[in-house]
Structures are given as structure tokens and as C-alpha cells.
Chain A
Amino acid sequence: MIRVGETLLEVRGLSKRYDGFRALEEVDLSLQAGHVKGIMGPNGAGKSTLLRLLAGEIEVTSGSVVFAGRAVTELSVDRTSNLGISYMPQRPSVFPALTVEENVRGAAQTSLILNRTDDESSVKTLLDLVGLGERAGVRAVELPFGEKRLLDLAMALATRPRLLLADEPTAGVDRGSAETILGLLRDLSLPDSRGDFGLKGLIFTEHDREILFDFPDEIGFLHAGELIVEDVPEQVKSHELVRNYLANQRVFEDFKGDVGKDA
């Protein structure tokens, strides 16, 4: 049982190298239970690599990851998921030939097997939570981009994770779906989260500063594989490198909001 205030995730010296290319270099971070952390940084900084390492999808070059007191560095992706870390990839990753309902049910099966919930109507609950209740019988391949992302989130939550890693959850998503996603993430990460989902921590990567400086407890700034700064939003905002980065980003702000058509 993880209580608020305990350390949920402890990462030390995490590095990933590809044949000489340093994707991630000596990253230290930690997440307290009940906290939300946002990771920001330019493209190619290593944000996705970081999350994928935590999820166990790629192998660590060096460093350690400890989750709720357990060393998970060497574990395979399915073992990591079973322990309670759920990863929502950067682009929607659903099961195209299956219906929305089957997608979520397939995801929820693991939590049933692992006895985290005996609520058989959880599939319906999840679908309603993301607003796909009416679309249960639709094949996933037919969904527009935003709804695919909602389905993605529902699936990631269906495994009843303790820690959710979301890679740019709202990227390319239409405004309506983005709001649903963010609202849900915000609600679920409150200490007294509704439905008692059991979600104890959230780490997500993001480009949008409004989201980043809105609800996470801490923000980390990743640049060229290094975690330059990691602190509460006010401190991060005033860091010189971050200010530079944000200033340059302004150019692209106008384009946001038009993205959201089918990818």
C-alpha cells in the first residue's frame, strides 16, 4: 500500500546510449506518491526515451530505476506493466481490427487476472470516463485521431496502474478530446481521486506550456539527454535555458489548435 508522501519512483544515473549516440545521460529524478511531474524539452531531447526506459521497453545502458521499493531496471516491459507502471506511447497505439470495447476489455483483463479489481463493469466505466461509451462497437481503426487517443488513455488506465507514463498525451489531438484527456488526468491525480482508481503518480511529457505550468507539481527540463533542471514550476520558469527555450517556442504557438485532424 503506497501512501501519499512515500517515494513512488526513484531514478538514479539513468543513461541510454546507442552506438555512441547519447540519448540520455545520467538522469536523476524521483516522484513522490500523489505527485504529478511534467517533462518538457525540445524534440529529440530524450523525453520519449526516458519514458520508454521507465516502462521497460528499451534496455538501460546504465543506472537504476526503483519503483515502490522494487528494482525494475532489468525487467521486461510486460513484467514492468504488471507491477503497476503503465505507458501510453507517443502516437496512438490501439488494436485496429478490434472494437473499442474489445480494446479496453483486453487491457482490463490484466487487472482482473492480477486481482486489482473484481469490478466486471469496469470496461463500461472506463469507456464512459473518456467519453467513448457510445462508440463501444466501433472498430478502432475507424476512429478519428482524437478518439484513438482517448481509447489509448482508457487502455492505459484499464490496467489499474500505480504510475502512469503519458507521452505527449494531447499532441495532435483536437481541442475537445484534449480537454477530456487533461481533465481526466488532473482528476485522477488528485490525492482523493474519484473512483479510487489507485493511480498514485503521473509523469507526462508535453510541449504546451499552458498545460505544463498548470497542474504538475514538478517540472523537469530535458535537453540533449540531460535533465537540466527539475523543480517546482516557478523555479523552472525562471531558469535561463528554459526561458530561452520558451522564447523560441513562441513562434509555433500560433499553429497549435489547428492540429487535430486525422493523423
Chain B
Amino acid sequence: MQMEASWNLGKLLTVFVVVLTVFGVLPLFLGRFQVVLVTEALILGVYALSFDLIFGYAGMLSFGQSIFFGVGAYTILYSFKGGLGLAVSLLLAVFVAGFFGLLVGGAIVRIKGAKFFLVTLVGSILFYLLALDNRWLTGGSDGMVVPTVFPGLAENYYLVLGVSVTAILFALILVRSPLGLVLKMIRDNERRAGLLGYSLKKYKVITFTIGGGIAGLAGGLYAYTSGFVSAGFFHWTRSADAVVWTILGGAGTVVGPFLGAALLTVVSDILSAVVGNIYPVVVGALLVLAVVVFPRGVFGLLEGTIRNWKGDSGG
């Protein structure tokens, strides 16, 4: 039996079932607009999760997730136009975006550290510019309509919930698997991982592929539910969003990104009603605070508080 330093399987499963039930009955108690927010937060949570796998688990600071988000979104568009059904289209979005992840990952895997971040940023900008420039394919900044039968975030709440849950389960299984352990080792001490016989290149590319696929899933879902897709899906600020949500929510935990996405979606909504445009200022300040004061994010704070209540059980 594995000796996790924190949650064991039984505890986790219980919490999971409880949370699932809560989410399951949520729409009955909330107004339509709030359901929209929750749905959006879930989709964006999946997106942030893709970043967390790459950064929080394999240790690569990638600003390029918007690339796969956009690819997934446009795959859904063309898949529907091609007459394919929802399930197939979503799967296609995952695979195509994952394939892009493979390509991009393979190209940049040799690059290390902070320079890696730059290359991903430039890559993200490049894809955005390409999308902007090729109106025939992407509709440019005006975008194109996605022929969804039942568009709307709130209407697709249960679909989104189902997909998110699947993604979370997948991620949880992944991080507790031998592969997950390898990723954590690479994150913690790349050198030693290599000395022990793990091919860093191979595992980084694998991570990028999986991360790309999940980002593509989120992008596809987002395009589907909003019934619309544009070059803006590729904009680097989308990449930045994933980064911010994950860091604030807690990197290296599967739940953190969801917490971050949820929290910030709500905060953004509240703030825009109070003072227009103040949201980026708040986010920027929070990020700096997080980096300097609490790098483990909200999840880390919560976990720490719970542990203190329980009297610090440790192992």
C-alpha cells in the first residue's frame, strides 16, 4: 500500500462522492446566472488542470497552453461542420490537441528553465498571430459560430460536470501512478531522475502531450457551450490565465487549479460590478503575494490549516 504523505484513497473517495453530490444538486438551488459561472469555472478548471500537470507535476513553466486550448476549440468547430457527433468531436479535440502537444513538446524539450517559458510565450503569440491572419480558417478576431444544437453554458452544466469529473479522475489516477511519480521526480530533481535512468526528454514530451490533450478538451468544451470560437482563444492572456489560476489555487495538486479557476471567476465577476477593470490589478497583486508569501496557493493554505487543526498528523 502506498504511503502518501497526505490523503489516502479511502478519505479521498469519500470527499469525492460528497463533492460530486453537492455539484449534482447545485443547479436546483442556484439562479441561472450562477450556474453559468459554475459551468465556466469547471471548464476553465479543466484548462488550468492541464497547466498544472505540466508545471506542478513535471516542473515546466509553459505559457503555451492557449495553443492547445485554441486547437481543441477549432477542432470541435470543424468536427461539427463535418457532421460528427458530440462525443466523437470531443475525443477528436483531445487527440488533435494532444498531437499538437506532442509536436510542440518535441520541438522545445531540450530547452530548460526560464528560457523555456520564453519559448512557450513566443509560441503562443505566434499561434495567435497566425490565427488572426488566417481569417479563412479561423474567422480572425471575429470568429465563427459553432453549430451547437443546445448552446449555452448553463444548459450544458451536467455535460461539463461529467467531463470535468472524468478529467479529474484521470488526473488523480495519473499522478498516483508510476508515471506520476516520474513526473514528480523530474520536477524535484531533474538531474537525479536522469541518473536513475529516466529519459527526461521522453517524459517531458509525454507530459506535454497529455497536457495539450486536456487543454484541447477544455477548449473544445468552451467552444461548444458558448457556440462560438475566435482567434482570441489563442491569445496569450489565456495562457496567463491558466498559470494564474493554478498558482493561486495551488500547483501540484489536482484540485488547486479548479479552486483557482472557480475563485477567480467569481472574483472577476464581483469586481467588474464594483470598479471596471480593476480585476487585473487584483490578480497581479495576488500573484505577487502568492509567489513571495504563499507559493502553495489557496490549496496549500487550506491543507496547512486543516493539518494544524488535526494536530499535525504527518505521515
Answer yes or no: B188 CB below 8 A from chain A CBs.
Answer: yes
Additional 17 contacts, C-beta under 8 A, given A93-B189, A137-B314: A57-B194, A76-B199, A78-B199, A89-B192, A93-B191, A95-B189, A95-B192, A96-B188, A105-B181, A106-B184, A109-B178, A109-B181, A110-B196, A110-B198, A139-B5, A158-B196, A159-B196
Contact of A93 among B184, B192, B199, B314 (CB under 8 A): B192
Q: Out of A79, A98, A136, which one reaches B185, CB within 8 Å? A: A98
Given A78-B200, A137-B315, A138-B315, CB of A98 within 8 Å of CB of B184: yes
B182 at interface (Cβ–Cβ under 8 A)? yes
Residues of A at under 8 Å CB distance from B? Answer: 55, 57, 76-79, 81-82, 86-87, 89, 93-99, 101-102, 105-107, 109-110, 136-139, 155, 158-159
Count residues of chain B with CB under 8 A from any CB of chain A. 22
B188-229 residues with Cβ-Cβ distance < 8 A to A are 188-189, 191-200
Distance A86 CA – B197 CA, assembled complex (angstroms): 9
Q: Does B3 contact A (CB under 8 A)?
A: yes
Contacts of B184 in A (CB 8 A): 95, 97-98, 102, 106
Are B5 and A57 closer than 8 Å at their CB atoms? no
A11 to B72 alpha-carbon distance, docked (Å)? 52
Question: Within the complex, what minimum Cβ distance (angstroms) separates A90 from chain B?
Answer: 12
Q: With A93-B191, A94-B192, A95-B185 in contact, is A110–B3 under 8 Å at CB?
A: no
Chain B residues, Cβ within 8 Å of A57:
194-195
Can you offer 24 A-B residue contacts whose CB atoms are under 8 A? Answer: A76-B194, A77-B195, A78-B194, A86-B195, A87-B195, A89-B192, A89-B195, A93-B191, A93-B195, A95-B188, A95-B189, A95-B192, A96-B188, A97-B188, A105-B181, A106-B182, A136-B3, A136-B315, A137-B315, A139-B5, A155-B192, A155-B196, A159-B196, A159-B197
Bound CA span A215–B170, Å: 51
The 4 A-B residue pairs with the shortest CB-CB distance, nearest first, are A137-B315, A81-B197, A95-B188, A110-B197
State A89–B191 Cα separation when bound (angstroms). Answer: 10
Question: Across the interface, which residues of A come within 8 angstroms of B193, CB to CB?
Answer: 106
B194 / chain A contacts, CB cutoff of 8 Å: 57, 76-78, 81
Looking at the assembled complex, report how far the CB atom of B203 sits from the nearest CB atom of chain A, in whole angstroms. Answer: 10
Q: Which residues of B contact A138 (CB under 8 A)?
A: 315
Determine the chain A residues whose CB is within 8 A of the CB of B197 once the complex forms. 78, 81-82, 110, 159
Contacts of A76 in B (CB 8 A): 194, 199
- In the bound assembly, the distance between CA atoms of A95 and B188 in angstroms comes to 5
Question: In the assembled complex, which residues on chain A have CB atoms less than 8 Å from the CB atom of B196?
Answer: 78, 81, 106-107, 110, 155, 158-159
Specify which chain B residues have a CB less than 8 angstroms from the CB of A107 in the assembled complex: 196
Would you call B5 and A55 a contact (CB within 8 A)? no
Is the Cβ of A137 less than 8 Å from the Cβ of B3?
Answer: yes
| B195 contacts A98, C-beta separation under 8 Å | no
In Å, the complex CA distance between A107 and B200 comes to: 14
A99→B189 contact, CB < 8 A: no
Docked Cα-Cα span, A57 to B194, in Å, equals 9
Residue of A nearest to B192 (CB): A93
Which residue of chain A is the closest to B181 with respect to CB atoms?
A106
A130 to B138, CA, bound (A): 61
> Which of A81, A139, A158 has most chain B Cβ within 10 Å?
A81
Most buried by B among A109, A139, A159: A109
Set B3, B182, B185, B195: member contacting A101, Cβ < 8 A:
B3
Given the complex, which residues of A lie within 8 Å of B199, measured CB to CB? 76, 78-79
CA distance A158 to B187 in the complex (A): 20
A95 / chain B contacts, CB cutoff of 8 Å? 184-185, 188-189, 192
What residue in chain B is nearest A55 (Cβ atoms)? B195
Measured CB to CB, the nearest residue on chain B to A142 is B314
Closest to A99 in B: B5
